[in-house]
Structure 1
Amino acid sequence: MQEPFPNFPTEPPQKPAGEPLPPQEETPAPPTEQPVPPVQNPLPPVQNNPVPPVQNPLPPVQGMPQNNPIPPMQNPLPPVQGTPQNNPVPPVQNPLPPAQDMPQNNPIPPMQNPIPNWYQNQQPTMGNWQIPPQVPPAPPQKQPLTPEQKDRRTAFWLKIVAALLAALLLYCIGSDVVSYRRGGAAPAAATASDTDRDETAGSKVIIQQQDKPELDKNAENTDADGAYTVEGVASVVCPSIVEIETYGDAKGEQLSGTGSGIISSEDGYIITNAHVLTNGKSFRVIMSDETEYPATVIGKDNKTDLAVIKIEGSDFPAAVMGDSDEVVLGESVVAIGNPAGLSGSVTNGIVSGLNRQIRSDATGFDMNCIQTNAAISPGNSGGALVNMYGQVIGITSSKYVSSSYEGLGFAITINEVLPIVQDLIDNGYVADRVRVGITFISLIPEEVRQGFADEIGMKTVPDNLSGVWITEIADDCDIASTDLQVNDVIVSVQGEAVDDYDSLNAAIAGLKGGDTIEARCRRYQPDGNFEEFSIQCKLMADTSGNY
Structure 2
Amino acid sequence: MYPYDDYDKQNNTPRDNYTTRGSYQWNNPQQQVQWDGSTYRSYGSQQPGGYNSSSSGPEPPKGPKKRTVTKILCGVLACLMISAGSVGGFVALVNNGYVTLNGGAASSSASSSQAPASSSILTTPTTTTKAGSLTAQEIAKKVIPSVVCIQNYQVSQSLSLQRRSGSDESAVAPASEGSGIIISSDGYIVTNAHVVSGADSLKVILSDGKSHEAKLIGSDTVTDLAVVKIQATGLTAAELGSSSSLQVADTVMAIGNPGGLEFNSSVTIGYVSALNREITNSENGYTMKCIQTDAAINPGNSGGALVNSTGQVIGINSSKIVAEGYEGLGFAIPIDDAKPIIEDLKKYGYVKDRAMLGISGQFVDTMISRLYGLPVGYYVSSAVNPSVSAAGIEAGDVITKIDGKQINSSTVLTSAIAAKKPGETVSLSVTRPKTGKTFTASVTLAQSTGS
C-alpha displacement of 1:340:
1.1
Distance 1:339 1:519 in 2: 45
Matched, 1:488 2:397: yes
Please state whether the residue corresponding to 2:155 is helix, strand or coil.
coil
Distance 1:228 1:402 in 2: 35
Mapping for residues 423-462 of structure 1, pairs under 5 Å: 423-444=344-365, 462=372
Distance 1:357 1:239 in 2: 29
8 Å CA contact retained: 1:400, 1:411: no
Distance 1:353 1:328 in 2: 9
Please state whether the residue corresponding to 1:487 is helix, strand or coil.
coil
Structure 1 residues 306 and 445: alpha-carbon distance in aligned structure 2, compared to 1, 3 A threshold:
farther
Structure 1 residues 467 and 390: alpha-carbon distance in aligned structure 2, compared to 1, 3 A threshold:
closer
Matched, 1:303 2:203: no
C-alpha displacement of 1:440:
1.7
Q: What is the match of residue 139 of structure 2?
A: 233
Please state whether the residue corresponding to 2:234 is helix, strand or coil.
coil
C-alpha displacement of 1:507:
4.1
Please state whether the residue corresponding to 1:484 is helix, strand or coil.
coil
Consecutive unaligned residues in structure 1, runs of 5 or more: 1-224, 451-460
Q: In structure 1, what residue type is equivalent to 2:413?
A: L
Q: What is the match of residue 323 of structure 1?
A: 242
Matched, 1:351 2:271: yes
Work out which of the residue numbers 398, 402, 410 in structure 1 matches 2:319: 398
Work out which of the residue numbers 347, 364, 377 in structure 2 matches 1:467: 377
Work out the number of aligned pairs and report it: 306
Distance 1:356 1:515 in 2: 28
Q: What is the match of residue 449 of structure 2?
A: 543
Q: In structure 2, what residue type is equivalent to 1:505?
A: T
Distance 1:239 1:333 in 2: 18
Percent identity reads: 38
Matched, 1:261 2:180: yes
Distance 2:415 2:244 in 1: 26
Please state whether the residue corresponding to 2:300 is helix, strand or coil.
helix
Structure 1 residues 371 and 517: alpha-carbon distance in aligned structure 2, compared to 1, 3 A threshold:
closer
Consecutive unaligned residues in structure 2, runs of 5 or more: 1-130, 161-173
Normalised TM-score (structure 1): 0.49
Distance 1:510 1:234 in 2: 38
1:341-387 Cα offsets, whole Å, 9 max, x none, are 13424333243445333324646645444443321123211111123
Structure 1 residues 388 and 252: alpha-carbon distance in aligned structure 2, compared to 1, 3 A threshold:
farther
Distance 2:132 2:375 in 1: 60
Distance 2:438 2:336 in 1: 43
Larger relative contact order, structure 1 or 2 (CA cutoff 8 Å, min sep 6) = 2
8 Å CA contact retained: 2:273, 2:294: no
C-alpha displacement of 1:400:
7.2
Please state whether the residue corresponding to 1:380 is helix, strand or coil.
coil
Q: What is the match of residue 126 of structure 1?
A: none
8 Å CA contact retained: 1:250, 1:281: no
Structure 1 residues 309 and 514: alpha-carbon distance in aligned structure 2, compared to 1, 3 A threshold:
same
C-alpha displacement of 1:462:
4.3
* Greater Rg over alpha carbons, structure: 1
C-alpha displacement of 1:508:
4.0
Please state whether the residue corresponding to 1:300 is helix, strand or coil.
strand
Matched, 1:290 2:209: yes
Distance 2:270 2:383 in 1: 44
Q: What is the match of residue 376 of structure 1?
A: 297
Please state whether the residue corresponding to 1:266 is helix, strand or coil.
coil
C-alpha displacement of 1:425:
1.5
Distance 2:132 2:441 in 1: 62
Structure 1 residues 388 and 535: alpha-carbon distance in aligned structure 2, compared to 1, 3 A threshold:
closer
Distance 2:177 2:377 in 1: 37
C-alpha displacement of 1:290:
3.1
C-alpha displacement of 1:402:
9.2
Q: What is the match of residue 502 of structure 1?
A: 411
8 Å CA contact retained: 2:189, 2:227: yes
- What is the CA RMSD across the aligned residues, in angstroms? 3.4
Structure 1 residues 491 and 377: alpha-carbon distance in aligned structure 2, compared to 1, 3 A threshold:
same
Work out which of the residue numbers 233, 236, 254 in structure 2 matches 1:335: 254
Structure 1 residues 328 and 487: alpha-carbon distance in aligned structure 2, compared to 1, 3 A threshold:
closer
8 Å CA contact retained: 2:178, 2:303: yes
Matched, 1:415 2:321: no
Work out which of the residue numbers 186, 190, 197 in structure 2 matches 1:278: 197
Structure 1 residues 273 and 474: alpha-carbon distance in aligned structure 2, compared to 1, 3 A threshold:
same
1:94-149 Cα offsets, whole Å, 9 max, x none, are xxxxxxxxxxxxxxxxxxxxxxxxxxxxxxxxxxxxxxxxxxxxxxxxxxxxxxxx
8 Å CA contact retained: 2:357, 2:417: no
Structure 1 residues 257 and 514: alpha-carbon distance in aligned structure 2, compared to 1, 3 A threshold:
same
Q: What is the match of residue 148 of structure 2?
A: 242
Q: In structure 2, what residue type is equivalent to 1:474?
A: V
C-alpha displacement of 1:227:
5.2
C-alpha displacement of 1:238:
1.9
Work out which of the residue numbers 225, 229, 232 in structure 2 matches 1:313: 232
Please state whether the residue corresponding to 1:340 is helix, strand or coil.
coil
